[in-house]
A and B are shown apart, each in its own frame.
Chain A
Amino acid sequence: MLTYFSALTDPNMVFLRYALFAGLLAAPAFGIIGTYVVARRMTYLAGAIAHCVLGGIGAALYCQVHYGMAWLTPMLGAIVTAIAAALVIGLVSLRSRERVDSVIGAIWVLGMAAGIIFIAKTPGYIDPMSYLFGNILMITGRDLLTIAVLDVIVIGLGLLSYNRMIAVCFDEEFARLRGIRTELYTLLLLCLTALTIVLMVRVVGIVMVIALFTLPAATASHFSTRIWQMMLLATLLGLASVAGGLSLSYGLDLPSGPTIVMLAGFFYLVVIVGKGLKNRLR
């Protein structure tokens, strides 16, 4: 443990510091947006958006190499694709007469497939694993700045729309009758979800990012009677998972993304098993 703290201040270990900052910055966004997503039962949509992001990352890498578009960073590709996926998925689920889950499933895998193809066709060694499961060695100072900016946008909009978002999540029909543009709020929530996903793609990867959405919020829901309590608790659990997971992964030499996710899952399991035992003992 002590070595972990000294490593955090070690100038040669700057990546560890970056990863911790990224995680700590992202935790409130995950707590706030994750609570909406869990309460609205939209985790499946969030999963689809997350997996689509690989398409954007792959396309950005491809364009950088083939067309010399150095400005098109994987992070930017991820942001654009995530927003586009959120809007498409949102419009499909609001408007389409197709079976919504089939369409979303299709978007989910097509996004991933496109990403893998782009990466395969990009010369030079790119490990898709680091995008799928996260790699804290890849976090740059610039990424941190992007994360901070997105964080402010997500948390700001998430909190500003608090009352209306709750009204829409709780009873959409009634909210619409009160003159709230419920479709707009649904799309806003999906876009905020998309940006939140991008925040942590570097650290835990696109496959596991959904865990940070659902696990802290689901754990928090067992102790909360109000939405804001759930947000606060989910944020604290997110912070604990990131800080604890990074230190464990450093101490035990484990991959950091999966360790963070395992810790978040451990909190969740402890809570539901504990609750189950408590009910049984009554």
Chain B
Amino acid sequence: MPPDLPAIQCEQLSFSYGEVPILTNVSFSIQKLDAVALVGPNGGGKSTLLKLILGLLTPQSGTIQVLGTTPQQARKKIGYMPQYLQYDPSFPVSAMDVVLMGRAGSAGLGRYSKEDRRIAMQAMTELAVDGLASRPFNSLSGGQRQRILIARALACEPEILLLDEPTANVDPGVELQFFEILKALANRVTVLTVSHDLGFVSQMVSRVFCINRQVKIHPTSELTGEVIREMYGGDVRMVRHDHCCSEQGHSHADLL
């Protein structure tokens, strides 16, 4: 892939479930090694956008290109961590088994090679959960499980990492450690993080996409400190930020 090709490019993308429009005329482009956070209200279209990037959904109009090709073809180069795992809590697997699933599509009949195991172990080491490898997955805490799922996404050896609410079940104490890990990852792969918590993500991403049917893009360099305080009255929870995506338009559009 030529280096100038964007990792993800959307043009005039629209998607609706039946009559309900979820995303309308969304255009953006994300360069390789860019780190982007997607924020916005529930039902605003964040998870839908991830599913469009993964090719699990097809847009009604507009185009989406991932790594210069269709989402379906680029899929194997994307590591995905879903927000909810519809897993059966009595399913007997170890943490290592779950991480290895990132390698399940690799070759032949799906036997795991030594190389697969090495990559899975390395991903777990990177997320500081290598000590949990042989533990049953259902005996782990929410935060530990979350990290195992990120390790699983990382075991895909992705060029793009899609994380849907990676801090949802994480204790505040562990959050900082988490943040360091994600920041290190952002040096290697293009990272898209869905989050409610701009205070958390704004330190590790370069841009924030506000998604509520439409996408507004903010560079975080101008979103920190005084600016946030000024714009949101000092309340970082304002990131949900209905005001930014309101019908009236965009009061701080000059930031773009």
Chain A residues at the B interface, C-beta cutoff of 8 Å: 39, 41, 160-164, 166-167, 169-171, 173-180, 221, 224-227, 229-230
List 9 other contacts, CB 8 Å, given A164-B109, A226-B92.
Answer: A39-B92, A163-B100, A163-B111, A171-B86, A175-B101, A178-B105, A179-B75, A180-B105, A229-B92
Contact yes or no, B85 A171, CB < 8 A: yes
Interface residue stretch chosen among B76-84, B196-204, B226-234, B237-245: B76-84
Contact in complex: A170, B93 (CB < 8 Å): yes
Closest A residue to B85 using CB positions = A171
A177/B80 in contact, CB under 8 A: yes
Q: Are B109 and A161 in contact (CB-based, < 8 A)?
A: yes
Which residues of the partner chain B approach A229 to less than 8 Å between Cβ atoms?
92
Asked if B225 lies at the interface with its beta carbon under 8 angstroms from chain A, I say: no
Chain B residue at minimal CB-CB distance from A218: B90
Whether B80 and A174, one on each chain, are in contact in the complex, defined by CB atoms closer than 8 angstroms, is yes
Q: Select one of B90, B91, B110 contacting A163, CB under 8 A.
A: B110
Tell me, yes or no, whether B54 is within 8 Å of chain A by CB: yes
Contact indicator B90/A221 (Cβ below 8 Å) = yes
> Is A166 a contact of B97 with CB atoms below 8 Å?
yes
One of A163, A174, A221, A227 near B152 (C-beta < 8 A): A174
Total A-B contacts with CB atoms under 8 angstroms apart: 76
Could you list 24 A-B pairs, sorted by A, with CB under 8 Å? A41-B88, A160-B109, A161-B109, A161-B110, A163-B110, A163-B111, A164-B104, A166-B93, A166-B101, A171-B82, A171-B101, A173-B56, A174-B82, A174-B101, A175-B101, A175-B104, A177-B56, A179-B75, A180-B104, A180-B110, A224-B92, A225-B94, A225-B136, A227-B92
- A226 to B94: give the CA distance in the assembly, Å: 6
Instruction: Give the contacting residue for B93; candidates A160, A178, A226; CB below 8 A.
Output: A226
Q: Residue among B80, B86, B101, B152 with the most chain A CB within 10 A?
A: B101
Query: Is B49 close to A, CB under 8 A?
Result: no
Give the size of the chain B interface in residues (CB under 8 angstroms).
Answer: 30
A178 B92 Cβ-Cβ under 8 A:
no
Interface check B102, CB cutoff 8 A:
yes
- Assuming the contacts A167-B101, A167-B104, A173-B56, asked whether A178 and B76 have C-beta atoms less than 8 A apart, the reply is yes
The distance in angstroms between the C-alpha atoms of A94 and B176, with both chains bound, is: 43
Select which of A160, A161, A170, A230 is within 8 A of B98 by beta carbon.
Answer: A170
In the complex, A157→B82 CA distance in Å? 30
Query: Sorted from nearest, which 6 A-B pairs have the closest CB atoms?
Result: A178-B105, A164-B110, A179-B105, A167-B104, A225-B136, A163-B110
Known contacts A163-B104, A171-B86, A177 near B75 by CB under 8 Å: yes
**Bound-state Cα–Cα, A173 to B75, Å:** 12
Distance in Å: Cβ of A144 to nearest Cβ of chain B? 30
Interface residues of B in 143-174 (CB under 8 A from A): 152, 156
* Shortest CB distance A204–B (Å): 26
Report Cα–Cα, A229/B90, bound state, in Å.
14
Q: Is B17 an interface residue (CB 8 A)?
A: no
Q: Which residue of A lies closest to B80 (CB)?
A: A177
Closest to B112 in A: A163
Q: Chain A contacts of B56 at CB under 8 A? A: 173, 176-177
Contacts of B109 in A (CB 8 A): 160-161, 164
Q: Is the CB of A178 within 8 A of B111?
A: no
> Measured between alpha carbons, how far is A160 from B109 in the docked complex, in Å?
7
With a 10 A CB-CB cut-off, give which of A39, A162, A175, A177 has the most chain B CB atoms.
A177
Contact among A163, A176, A225 with B92 in the assembled complex (CB-CB below 8 Å) = A225
Q: How far is the CB of B26 from chain A (nearest CB, A)?
A: 22
Chain B positions within 8 Å of A160 at CB level: 109
Which among B91, B98, B102 has the greatest number of chain A C-beta atoms within 10 A?
A: B91
Tell me which residues across on chain B come within 8 A of A224, comparing CB atoms. 92
Report whether A170 and B92 are in contact in the complex, using a CB–CB cutoff of 8 Å.
no
Would you call A170 and B101 a contact (CB within 8 A)?
yes
Q: What is the CA–CA distance of A176 and B56 in the complex, to the nearest angstrom?
A: 9
